[in-house]
Amino acid sequence: MRRLLLSLTLLTLCACARPASSLYTPVEADPQLAAPGPVVLTVVNAAGKEFTFTRARLAALGLVSFSTPDPSRKNEAHEYTGPLLSAVLREAGIAQAATLHLVALDKYRTDLKLAPIRDVPVILALKSDGQLLEPRNFGPVYMTFPYGGVKLDPNIYNAAWVWQLYRIEERPGGA
């Protein structure tokens, strides 16, 4: 009886867990994002190697979208489209357990530990509600979290909703 109860409990927990891929929708290639343009994001790994990304290079990593409440926009739901942060970091050779230093065009800076959110599909948004993001409207790159599908502590993660993101640096040693 005890084994049966334990088995049923485990099955229930597994059934309730949402896989990360169910939190976003893959998006077809977007001609607006495929157009040639300037570098919009620089990623630096712990070895100091820089990787530069245009919108087209970011879009080539695969586009996804999700709709989520945005703490920077009165918690109203918006649809964000862009590559997964994990795809960009993989391209730059950054470990899943790294700590990132995020830098915005307006000089805002914050650190983000990846280990607690390694299974969370964070999008580096290039579009919001179908509109290309520009510096005047949170762009050209906006780090967004699926608050609508994952329970994340806003006291920790609201600060990581970085708009006008232009640089990601891996902290040496994950510190």
Domain of 35: which CATH number?
A: 3.90.420.10
The per-residue pLDDT for 96 is: 86
Answer yes or no: are the C-beta atoms of 82 and 128 closer than 8 Å.
Answer: no
Number of domains forming the structure of the chain: 1
d(CA 92, CA 156): 25
What is the distance in angstroms between the CA of the first residue and the CA of the last residue of the chain? 47
The per-residue pLDDT for 175 is: 61
Q: Which two tokens stand for residue 162?
A: 């970085």
H or E stretch including 121? none
Rounded (to 5) percent helix, strand, coil in the chain: 30, 35, 35
Model-level pTM? 0.86
The per-residue pLDDT for 22 is: 83
Domain that holds residue 103: 2-174
- From first to last of the 175 residues of the chain, give the pLDDT tens digit: 434 333 333 333 333 344 566 899 999 999 999 999 999 999 999 999 999 999 999 999 999 999 999 999 999 999 999 999 999 999 999 988 899 999 999 999 999 999 999 899 999 999 999 999 999 999 999 999 999 889 999 999 999 999 999 999 999 766 6
Q: Which two tokens stand for residue 38?
A: 């300037």
Q: Within 10 Å of residue 128's Cβ, how many Cβ atoms?
A: 22
